[in-house]
Structure 1
Amino acid sequence: MAANQPTILALDFDGVICDGLKEYFETAWRTYCDIWLQTDETPPDNLAKKFYRLRPVIETGWEMPVLIAALLAGVAEEQILQEWHAIARAIVQENHLQSAAIAQKLDFLRDQWITDDLASWLGLHRFYPGVIEKLDSLINSPIQVFIVTTKEGRFVQQLLAQQGIQLPAKSVFGKENKRPKHEILHELITAAKTLPASLWFVEDRIKTLELVAQQSNLDTVKLYLADWGYNTSDERQAAQNHDRIQLLSLSQFADDFSTWG
């Protein structure tokens, strides 16, 4: 195996391979309407665009309808970017809600949608340019490819299958694994077929990469922040200033590994 390429390539899904912003917004809007008893189910103009811009602040699903509540309450976008956690907690408390209950409702409505009309749900996802071609070129190569994501593995496989990419279930670590990504990465290295293992990890959340960088048993893993994903300019700057994390462009991702730096 060449020194300038990995033996194991681990990829996040949403924000790296697939853009699910439209689905995120639609699910968040349906949940908001249900919890906040919104009778007019047509979202206001420009609400979706604001939601897309602010998607990087969301860490877990329950925050999605709360972000819509913040926007409709008139909270400024810049304030949300700077103070999101405090804003989200305040909205939950003021409305006598619980994050777990919001998450449960969101999952229920999403599952109901998937059951009723899987085709329309899948149809709100798109793949970033060049990514499917890159995956296709790696499927039969010596490089082991894994998806490590908080999305359910079955949906990852369905979405990829629509594009002609068949990944075995053992190569997809989804929401159902209920483990931190850094634990999964360590497992991949431990179980590597080719030794010594060289694992490269591409993720669009800098906090996830920073947590991986803190693990002493992952000090050889190459970490890349996907600059086309759900992150902000401040987060991309933080990646450039980090001694372990490298900023990766979509054109680099689609190109030869030697261009990754």
Structure 2
Amino acid sequence: MRPTAVVTGASSGIGAATARRLAAEGFHVVLAARRVDRIKALADELDGTAVPCDVTSDTDVAALAAAVGDTFGTIEVLVNNAGGAFGADTVQNGKLTDWSWMYEVNVLGTLRVTQALLPALEASGRGSIVMISSTAGLDVYEGGGGYVAAKHAQTAMTGTLRLELCGRPVRVIEIDPGMVRTEEFALNRLGDQEKAAKVYAGVEHPLVAEDVADAVAWTVTRPHHVNVDRIVLRPIAQASNYKVHRVL
């Protein structure tokens, strides 16, 4: 019987790439996301299970936990990938609605799913929780205040959870990507295709979703006594959140 992995935000980008990679590693993948058509198509491709889920909804997350419990009983891996950025305003001009959305999705959404699925992870005797955070959770940059604040909170929650689970059979892994070019992240954040393209302008090889998925797969396939606390991933052109080599 294949071990079970749950991936949130699995309809596109890093989530979809992670689902594909974990399926290739032999996991039965439960794909959770809001866009039902996308996760159903991917679940069919991977012989997985699609569960519609908005991580900001208590009802949806409870339904996800019930579906996992009723079908599988236990799970070995949870990848908390659902999240995102919205807007690039300064702190002075930041919109409270944007900041609230980012905190609700990145922090409280991760909290909801983790709380709901932790019993099934612990019951497996070899659980792994993977938090897809960001280098924005490790350092600040101008125009990123709301996202930086949310990701710092997610990083703090991750470290706290690792302390609290010490001695229990669940490891906690944090993966912090830097510049990753996906089909939607920058576009959703900036709301404009031209502005989104400028984020990656002149960067010959930004990370892609499969690079992050590769890191996820490596961490969860280590012997279970090995906890990879944190992996920071950046393209070679990016030395920090605010220093990027561009060929223009």
User: Do both share a fold (TM > 0.5)?
Assistant: no
Structure label with greater radius of gyration = 1
TM-score normalised according to structure 1 size: 0.39
Of Structure 1 and Structure 2, the greater helix share is in 1
For CA contacts below 8 A with separation 6 or more, give which structure has more relative contact order.
1
